[in-house]
Each structure stands twice: as C-alpha cells, then as structure tokens.
Structure 1
Amino acid sequence: MSQTKRKWEKGPSHNGGKRRMRKQAKPVVEGSHEEVLLADIQALLAKTRISGEDDVTKVDGAEGQTEAKPALPERGTEIEVEVVELSSTGDGLARQPGSDRIYTVPFSIPGDTVKVKVYRHLEKEQYSVADFISVVKPSPLRDDSRIQCPYFAKCAGCQFQMLDYPEQLKIKKTIVQKAYKNFSNLPQELVPSILDTIGSPLQYGYRTKLTPHFDGPPGATRKVKKPFEAMPPVGFTPKGSKKVLDIEDCPIGTDAVRLGLKRERKRLETEHANYTRGATILLRENTVRIPASDSTTVPPPESDSVKVVSDAHTDYKTCETDNNATTTEYIDDFVFTNPAGSFFQNNNSILSPFTAYVREHILPPPSSTNQKPVKYLIDAYSGSGLFTITLSPSLFPQGGTSVGIDIADKSIAFARRNAELNGLDKEKCQFIAADANELFKSVKGYDPDETVVVLDPPRKGCDKGFLRQLLEFRPRRVVYVSCNVHTQARDVGVLVRGEMVEGAVVGGEKTEEKEHKVKRKVRYEIESIRGFDFFPQTGHVEGVAVLNRVDEE
C-alpha cells in the first residue's frame, strides 16, 4: 500500500511564514469506490445543473459582476436534502432544493427526503459527504417494513433492505449499464443491451462467510499491554465511524454462520481477559454431506450444526473459526475443499445457476461460422478450481482438456485435490502455478481457434501486460467473470478495440508449409453482458461478459 505523499507549503502569516506540511490527496485508484462515485456525480452535474453558472450569481444585474458562491453548511450542520439518483456505490445522490450542490447520503433512495449531518466538503470534486440521520418523507419505493436487521442504517454492510427485491435487481442492471458507459471507452453501438440481472435464490441467510472483529482494550498500545476488563463490542465498522458496532446477529449470514457468531460471542464473554489486542473472527460455513444410503457415518452434534435434508442426502452445516482448517462446500454434485480463511464465493445459493450459466456460454453458439469445435479451456486466476472443474465435463465429450492457472501454490494444491474428489482425469484437467503475466507461456499446443479462456481476476481487473498477452494468443472465445463490473468494462473495452499484435501464421509456399511472423489486428466483439446478484441487500453486483474473436484480414 502506497504511503500518503506530503508536500511543503508556505504557512499563514500568524506562524511567521514558516512552512508546514499538508497531506496531498492520494491518486484515485481505477475502479475504486471513489472513482465510480465521482463518475456518477460528474454525470449528474452535467445532466441536471440548475444555474449553469457553477453556483455563481450576478450582483444586482450588473454586467460582468458576480458574487461568491453561497457558503456551504459547516461540518456538523443538519440539513434536509432530496435524493435524486442512486450512485453505483449504493449511496444516494441528493440536493437541497434550488441548489446545485450534490450530497452523498448512505441508506437513501431516489424520492426520499432525508435529514442528514454534513460530514465534509470536497471542493475540487464538487460534492459533499453527509451522514444519514432519518427519513423525513419516504420515497414511493421505500418500505421500511422490509428491513430485517436492527442495525440497518448503522452497519455499513447493507444498503437496500428497504427495497423490494425486483427493484434491487433493476438497480444492479443499471449499475452494469453505467459501468460500460463510464469505463469501457466504447461507442454505444459496440455494447449490446445489458441483460437482466440474475437474482439470488436466497435474499437473506445466504452469506457463508463473515469476519466480525473487535478493537484492542482502551488505553493499550504496542508497548503497553492491557487485558480487557469487559467484553468489547464485536461486529463491524459502521458507516462514517471508526468504532466497532456491536452486532449480536447478522440476518444475511447462513443459519450456521449466525449460530457460530452467537457461539463466539458467548466464548468472548468469559475469555475476553485473555486478549490484549483486537482480533478478527472467522466465521465460515462447512458442510458434512451424508448420503441417504449411509447409516454408519456419525453426524456432528445437533447443538453445533444445522440439518438440511433431501431425498439423496442429509447436509450438516457447521461453522469453522480456524483459518487453517479445511472446509467443504457443494455446488450441485460438485464438491470443493478450501482453507477456511481463503477466498471462495460467499453465496452458495447462487453458485448453481451461476456456474450453469457460464457452462451454457462456454461454447460458441451453433451458428458460429468457425466450424472447429472448442476443445480447450484456459481458466486464468483459477483459485481452487471453481470454473476449471465445473466446466471441464462440457469439453471432455469433444476430446478436450482444461487447465487452471493461479499464482498461489496453495490454491493449485487444493484445485488438484478438488479435481480428484470430483473424479476428473488429471491428464484432462490440469492445474499450473504461474504468474498471470506468464500464463500463456505455460500452455503448449492449444490451437487458439479451439480455445476458450475464462477470466476471473481480482477487483483491480487485468493489467495491460496480461491483456496484450491474451490478444497475442487470440483465443476464439473469452468469458470474463468479475466481482468489479467497472474494471471489467475497462478491460473489455481494451479487448473490443484490440491492437496490432505479432503472431505466428502457417503457410506461404506451395511445396511445404512454413511458419512466419506477421502483424495482424486482433479484437473481440461482445456477445452478451449480464449481472449476477451475489450480495442481495447491498449495492454490489458481479458481471459475466462473453466475447468472440473477430477475424479480420
């Protein structure tokens, strides 16, 4: 993490002209909360500016004379604002009547009139930040009886519990649309209509991993160790505060995770004196599946588990708190094991339709002009093998193979174990530990015309070196999965615009084939873009973009 840069400036006259230090603002990170919010604010300013004169008004109608902008409310001032739009970050964008000034307000939706407390002003960015206090006049879309959490509007985890679920899905479709409008740098005609967002089968009780935390004892420092005299607040950091909000229950967690939270809180009631600093608590769901025909396996104690019965098997859901323990998760009949503290998708209920959708789109449509069948799958950023394993059966009937590539040796080890657990031929389903920028050097013998690449990068997206490497390889089809639709839109824009790359071509003489290097234009076109709601009640949406290579002379 880069440190904040500091710049010396001349101080005011009262300190004798001495120089003092001021903090220089950090650069905005691509695809970050700040960049996404700023894009929405700038679009709103351009669309709805009231005066058209940047809040500067004429004095007594005198030609060329102006007066200063109206003073902004001091920090801590309570005002009423009207919410006019929802940003892609989940915050409401609001104004005072007759003013151009935009205020970002959490836990609010278009049509709300809300009382807020002004927190800070960002002059250069032309907006202000405010804390939500209360609803003065509710939006027609708001129904607070839908809210199922007593900490809503305090805890920063959820933004949309007051909204009907179909309305949440419409909002998330709009977020994807704005991502491609603001960050793809593509003309509108090259971006197909965004498909409707696929909802989560569970809107509450879906989250299989939570990480509540608590701060260290009051007065304790690195040098001064002090035990807790009472149980500390255990929970999450609220919006606009650094103090932990004590959370006794979290309704978006699965039943097993909620059971684990209660158990950990009870443990801390008696063990808090053993801690001299703060800590984060892992709560990760683990599944023990016992087939209906199995009468010998002993299930976990009922007091520590949640029992889920089906015709074929009984699942016992427990909560693991050891980061290094191994947890098990099922997606349909696929089984995955992972270190409890590692990354794996946190909403199991949507993983069945999600992986089915990717599986349905991994192969080109039957109308494809390229008659070669797709045989090869490259799963970049493969982790413990989610896509490599769930997609491989689609390719095997065509004689194909798949390879998952990830930089983490530990992830690759678990991916190989998961492939074995799912009965996949290790010659047909392989895993390689390699850096993303060296990815295609690790794959030998794959014909690009017969290859599909699945991308699932971290939130920052793909770097330029990887995208150039992808264009040089020229896979026939790309399925880009992303937890950040804004960096996805940026990267998809690069692939659609394409570039001239050097590639090997066979041919050129009648008597024998010869490989030679040529410069060619490589680019892709977007077949479809769709959002998936992995995190109901929040402003987060994941995206799947399907692209096909465009062959040009």
Structure 2
Amino acid sequence: MTTQPPSPGSGTGTSSPPHKKLKSSVSAELPDVIPTNGFTEVTEAPIKAAFLPNDSMGTTETIPKASSSQSQAPVKPKGKKNRKQKRTLPEKYSAQDVLFHDVRDFLGVEYVDGLIGKKEGSEWEAPEELKLFEEVTLTVGAFTVSGESISLFPGDKPWAIITPFAHPGDRIRAKIHKHDRLCSFADLLEILEYSEEYRGGEGDRRKYPENGCRYFGECGGCQLQPVPYPLQLQHKKRTVELAYQRFSNLHKDLIPGIQDTIGSPKQWGYRTKITPHFDAPPKWIQKQLKESDGEKKGWECRIGFERKGRPGVMDIEECPIATPVLNKKMTEERKRVQNTIMSFTRGATLLLRDSLPSPDPIPSSSSPFSHDTAPIIPAEQHVAITNHKQAVYERVGKYIFSFAAGSFFQNNNSILIPLTEYVKEAIFPPSPAASPASKPPTPTPTHLVDTYCGSGLFGITLSDKFEKVAGVEISHDSIVAAKKNAEMNGLQDKTTWLCGKAEDIFGGLAEKGFEGGKSCVVVDPPRKGCDEPFLDQLLHFKPLTVVYVSCNVHTQARDVGYLIRESESRGREKGWKYVVESLRGFDLFPQTAHVESVAVLRWIEN
C-alpha cells in the first residue's frame, strides 16, 4: 500500500503559503443520490457499450480545440488549420476509469453520454468561472469508490470536484489544482461544517483524539479512518455491486445479490508488511556539508510515504494499521537511514515484514508441522524482517507457511482464516438445496487446482477437503516455495506443484489425474486480472466449480462476465454453462477504501 501525505504538524514540515480569500460563495443544489443501507454512494445504471468512443482501452481520443465563448475569435497558429488536441483516455478498469464512472453517475448518465456523443471535446472544458488555483466553497455530495469526496461545482455547467478527506454532507473549502474530464481535482483546505453521518468511528480524532493516525488528512493511505467500521463495510459492499454493474456486461438477472462484506477481526495493527521510502540527499546539500563542517541547512531527511496530492515523501514515524513489531522496527530503521543518509546516491525503499521466529527445528517432510503441539506465538514475540531474500514464517490456522520477505503473501494475517474457510464452504455448500442455481445438483469435486498459487495459500489450507491438490504458477520461485510449504505441513504426497506456461497453464494436469469433471479451480490473479487465453483454457478445462479471489473487483467483474457469456455460447449445444452463485467482499485493509472480492461460479447442466 502506498500512502501520500504532507509533513505532520510537528513543526518540521514546510508550511503552505497563505490561502487566498474567497471572492464569492454560491450554494448549489446537489444531484440526487441513493442511500444504500444508510451509506451515500453514487449510483449506476447498466453501462452503455458506446459511452466511450470505440470502447477503447487507453487509446488516444482526438478532440478539436474548444472554441472560446468570448466575442473575440481565437487566434489560429500560422500554417496549421483545424489544429487538434490529443487527450488520452484512462486504461479501462484502472482507478482513473473507475473514477470516471463515479463522475458519470454523479453528474447523470444521460447528460454525460450526450455530452461525449457530440464529439466536441467540451467534456474536457472546465466551467469558465472555475480557475486553476482558485478557492471554492462546496457541499460534498457522495463518496467515490476510492473513498474521496465528490461535489457539484455551483455553476451553470454540471461539473464535479474531487477532494480527499471530506465526507458526504460536509461543507468544505478547497483549492483547485487540476482540470480533467468532467471534473477538477482539489486540495482540501478546511472543513467549514462537519457532517456527523459518516463520522464517529474509532479513528475519528475529533471524537477520540488519542485514536487513529495523526497523519490522517495528509497521508493518503487510509481514506475512511473516521467512518464507523460497519459503514466502511457497507461502502465496500457497494463497491462490489458497482463493479459488476459497470464492468461485467451481464444482465442484472445473472448477477446474484451481493452478500455483506466480511470484516477483518483486526481493524488496527493488522498490516504485516510496509514499505516506507526516502529520497537521496540532493547534490547541493552534499556540497554544503563539505563547506560547513557537516551542518545541514535547508534540507530534511524524510522517511515515510507519499504525500496526498503533493510531490515528495512525508516523514512518518509510525503507522497505526501496521503490526506493533513493524512500528518498533521502523524506529530503528529510521535512525539507521538518518545516520547514513549521505552515503545514498539515490532514493530507496525499506521493507519491513512481520514474521514468526524461525522454527527450531524447521518442519520438513519427515518431521512436519503439528498444530496440536506447536505453541501460539504472541505478537510481541514476532520479529521484523528487512532482508528481501530472508525467509518469513506465518501461521494460518493449523498450517505454517514460509516465503521470501520480498515475495507476495496476503498482508493481513487476521482475516486469512475467515477467508480460506469461506472459500472452503463455498466449494462445498451444506446441501444441494443451499444452491438454488445448481439444479440438477453439481457433482462434488474431489480434486483442487490452485492457479496463480503463489506460495500455496489456498492449495494447502483447502487440502483436507480434497483427494488431490495441484498448484500452478508461471513463477519458478513461487513453485519452489509452495512445494516447501507442502512438505513442512506433511502434504508432499497429496500435492503437485507445476510451473506452467502462460499459453498452456493447465498442461501436465491430465497425466497427474486431474480433469475438469472432478475438479474445483481457485483463481487468485494479480490486480490486472486474467487474460483471455487463460480464461479460454479454463473454459476448455471445464471444472465443476470456479472460485475467483480478486484484489481488484473491477477486473474480476470483467473476467467473470466473460466466463458466463462464453460458457453460454460454447455450452449451448451440449447443454451446459456456468452461473454466478455468489459474490462477496472481504475487508483485508480496514480504514482504506480497498476491498477484495470472492466470486463463486458453478457448472450446471441446462
């Protein structure tokens, strides 16, 4: 997770220039919003396929230069008739694309689509009265998916203002710093009137001054800190709902109701990995040190995370969502860097990872880990690992895992048992009656294929329910780690770990006894989701159940939509298809707007 803030109010940060006074303040009538379970969100109708020209993915849209509304004709450059300005649309499913949908819903789908349909480029033109670096007074209308506020600019042209750290109902003063498509971005200067509807959570420092993070409002890592935790979970449920409305391209009847988001057992002190960073000293300060006997003036070594809305690193001494052992280690690492900063010729990123102490002896295939006899190690006895290549040890239920500190593993250990148990129950529902979409009942899978398996989290934690388990990855290092973890847990005879090729990810499974008609496939890809060749191979393998675990619900919705549509097309003649049985969010990162999502797809005969 990256964070983005200005220096805390400790007197060490640079101060901002005095704010300009407002010339006028105009009240605005806000567009309608729909409260969902008491949580105000922008709303979304099923997306029109043609709302973007050519439905492009990050392509360049050529837009004529907008004509001036003043009476004086614009001056045309010599020798260049009909000069055009190029604008790059955001990559589909990216954070910028999701924000565009938020703005589109907020301003009105018909208005936005109509404006873009004119192809005049006016969606890029901010209202004339809205100038860069101008201060405006606004009433916040809703949250965006990313947890920022969205307000209607009080002018004749519908236009949205995106501002961090404000909540629906707040009356705020903000400073415009960038114009974009149908919206402008602003820095929050002051909250003039607080709305209490989305405040009062444990991290609300107005109500609980000793709680939460003292850098909130400057560091961009935690967007929802003041919001009560039940409302944070509602926001994340709504995020899953909007993702499937916007990006799955499925009829609403094919999308089941989104289940309530599963909360994290820990909302603070849960994060087991952080990566603070720092900039190298500029050349001029090194020269100054030589000329002034080592006295530093005009420069400060800052170690922390990115400022929100401003360039540069913010100095951060502690992170309340990180585990205690990481905060303790960060104090030591900060001193080390500060004492040796002049030896760095470029900036660097620190790695701090929470780990159990190295077991003695280390479990092996001949002497596997036993949860019955292994003691539970209290958090204060954990260690912090800073070497990317050093082994980290982590326990999930009755299993132990080891992986290189610099490799991927989920960063909230407290929710891994609820997550893996949910996946297990979703694969094996209590009875056929619990799955109304599966009629006649789908056969029970006996084999598990864990794709994008990493170091084997799902393959190992779900293994007790299957006769055989296979993990598939294109990363050789991940396969080595997964194989070692299977051996440490005594599962070497039950599991197979294959380093597959992207173009033949399921190759080699058949000779190991795996076939789709008796298998469940777990899919846990990176943020970009799955590519089309993988999804085609998955449809060809035809597993009984697919469980898609995603850290980006927007690309998950795209991929699930593809699987459902393609299965209907390919299975029509032989009478089979996939249905979406359930959708549910998991909160791996409390206090942030991020949500993970689990989709369960079931093979059925028509």
Q: Letter of the aligned partner of 2:542 in structure 1?
A: R
In structure 2, do the counterparts of structure 1 residues 47 and 370 end up closer, same or farther at CA, with 3 Å as the change threshold? closer
% identical aligned pairs: 41
CA offset digits 1:67-106 (Å, max 9, x no partner): x985142111111111111111211111134652111111
Does structure 1 residue 132 correspond to structure 2 residue 188?
yes
CA contact (8 A) 2:449 2:470 kept: yes
CA shift, 1:364, in A, is 4.9
CA shift, 1:442, in A, is 2.7
- 2:237 equivalent in structure 1: 173
Does structure 1 residue 466 correspond to structure 2 residue 520?
no
CA shift, 1:427, in A, is 3.3
CA distance in 2, matches of 1:69, 1:348: 45
- 1:271 equivalent in structure 2: 340
- Residue among 463, 474, 484 paired with 1:407: 474
CA distance in 2, matches of 1:401, 1:25: 52
CA shift, 1:480, in A, is 0.5
- 2:22 equivalent in structure 1: none
- Residue among 206, 216, 219 paired with 1:152: 216
CA contact (8 A) 2:127 2:155 kept: no
- 1:543 equivalent in structure 2: 597
- Residue among 94, 97, 107 paired with 2:165: 107
- 2:323 equivalent in structure 1: 254
- DSSP-derived class of the 1:497 partner: helix
CA contact (8 A) 1:220 1:277 kept: no
- DSSP-derived class of the 1:327 partner: strand
CA contact (8 A) 1:173 1:196 kept: yes
- DSSP-derived class of the 1:438 partner: coil
- 1:324 equivalent in structure 2: 389
CA shift, 1:335, in A, is 0.7
CA contact (8 A) 1:384 1:412 kept: yes
Does structure 1 residue 95 correspond to structure 2 residue 164?
no
- 1:347 equivalent in structure 2: 412
CA contact (8 A) 1:6 1:22 kept: no
- DSSP-derived class of the 2:100 partner: helix
- Residue among 557, 560, 565 paired with 1:492: 560
CA distance in 2, matches of 1:437, 1:53: 42
Structure with greater strand percent: 1
CA offset digits 1:38-61 (Å, max 9, x no partner): 1111112216979x999xxxxxxx
CA shift, 1:376, in A, is 0.8
In structure 2, do the counterparts of structure 1 residues 160 and 372 end up closer, same or farther at CA, with 3 Å as the change threshold? closer
CA distance in 1, matches of 2:146, 2:403: 30
CA contact (8 A) 1:5 1:23 kept: no
CA distance in 1, matches of 2:86, 2:497: 44
CA distance in 2, matches of 1:91, 1:484: 18
Does structure 1 residue 440 correspond to structure 2 residue 506?
yes
- Residue among 79, 103, 106 paired with 1:44: 106
CA distance in 2, matches of 1:256, 1:191: 43
TM-score in terms of structure 1 length = 0.82
- 1:281 equivalent in structure 2: 350
CA contact (8 A) 2:269 2:321 kept: yes
In structure 2, do the counterparts of structure 1 residues 394 and 547 end up closer, same or farther at CA, with 3 Å as the change threshold? same
- 1:420 equivalent in structure 2: 487
Does structure 1 residue 189 correspond to structure 2 residue 253?
yes
- 1:531 equivalent in structure 2: 585
In structure 2, do the counterparts of structure 1 residues 472 and 4 end up closer, same or farther at CA, with 3 Å as the change threshold? closer
In structure 2, do the counterparts of structure 1 residues 160 and 118 end up closer, same or farther at CA, with 3 Å as the change threshold? same
CA shift, 1:168, in A, is 0.5
In structure 2, do the counterparts of structure 1 residues 375 and 115 end up closer, same or farther at CA, with 3 Å as the change threshold? same
User: Which has the larger displacement, 367-376 or 272-281?
Assistant: 367-376
- Residue among 340, 351, 366 paired with 2:431: 366
CA contact (8 A) 1:79 1:115 kept: yes
- 2:8 equivalent in structure 1: none
Q: Letter of the aligned partner of 1:543 in structure 2?
A: S
CA distance in 1, matches of 2:376, 2:441: 44
CA contact (8 A) 2:139 2:171 kept: yes
CA offset digits 1:372-420 (Å, max 9, x no partner): 431111111000000000011111xxxx211011111001000000001
- 1:28 equivalent in structure 2: 90
- 1:380 equivalent in structure 2: 451
CA distance in 2, matches of 1:14, 1:485: 46
CA shift, 1:313, in A, is 3.4
CA distance in 2, matches of 1:36, 1:263: 39
- 2:376 equivalent in structure 1: 313
In structure 2, do the counterparts of structure 1 residues 231 and 75 end up closer, same or farther at CA, with 3 Å as the change threshold? closer
- DSSP-derived class of the 2:302 partner: coil
- DSSP-derived class of the 2:529 partner: coil
CA distance in 2, matches of 1:249, 1:533: 22
In structure 2, do the counterparts of structure 1 residues 547 and 3 end up closer, same or farther at CA, with 3 Å as the change threshold? closer
CA shift, 1:501, in A, is 7.4
- DSSP-derived class of the 1:28 partner: coil
- 1:307 equivalent in structure 2: none
CA offset digits 1:83-132 (Å, max 9, x no partner): 1111112111111346521111111221111111101112xx21111112
CA distance in 2, matches of 1:493, 1:394: 28
Structure with greater contact order relative to length (CA < 8 Å, sep ≥ 6): 2
- Residue among 461, 477, 481 paired with 1:390: 461
In structure 2, do the counterparts of structure 1 residues 289 and 339 end up closer, same or farther at CA, with 3 Å as the change threshold? closer
In structure 2, do the counterparts of structure 1 residues 520 and 467 end up closer, same or farther at CA, with 3 Å as the change threshold? farther
In structure 2, do the counterparts of structure 1 residues 17 and 283 end up closer, same or farther at CA, with 3 Å as the change threshold? farther
TM-score in terms of structure 2 length = 0.75
Q: How many residues align?
A: 492
CA shift, 1:526, in A, is 1.1
CA distance in 2, matches of 1:42, 1:187: 20
CA contact (8 A) 1:107 1:159 kept: yes
In structure 2, do the counterparts of structure 1 residues 3 and 127 end up closer, same or farther at CA, with 3 Å as the change threshold? closer
In structure 2, do the counterparts of structure 1 residues 351 and 228 end up closer, same or farther at CA, with 3 Å as the change threshold? farther
CA distance in 1, matches of 2:475, 2:146: 30
- DSSP-derived class of the 1:313 partner: coil
CA distance in 1, matches of 2:476, 2:317: 37
CA shift, 1:278, in A, is 0.7
CA shift, 1:435, in A, is 2.9
CA distance in 1, matches of 2:138, 2:392: 47
- 1:118 equivalent in structure 2: 176
In structure 2, do the counterparts of structure 1 residues 70 and 128 end up closer, same or farther at CA, with 3 Å as the change threshold? closer
Q: Letter of the aligned partner of 2:224 in structure 1?
A: F
CA contact (8 A) 2:126 2:182 kept: no
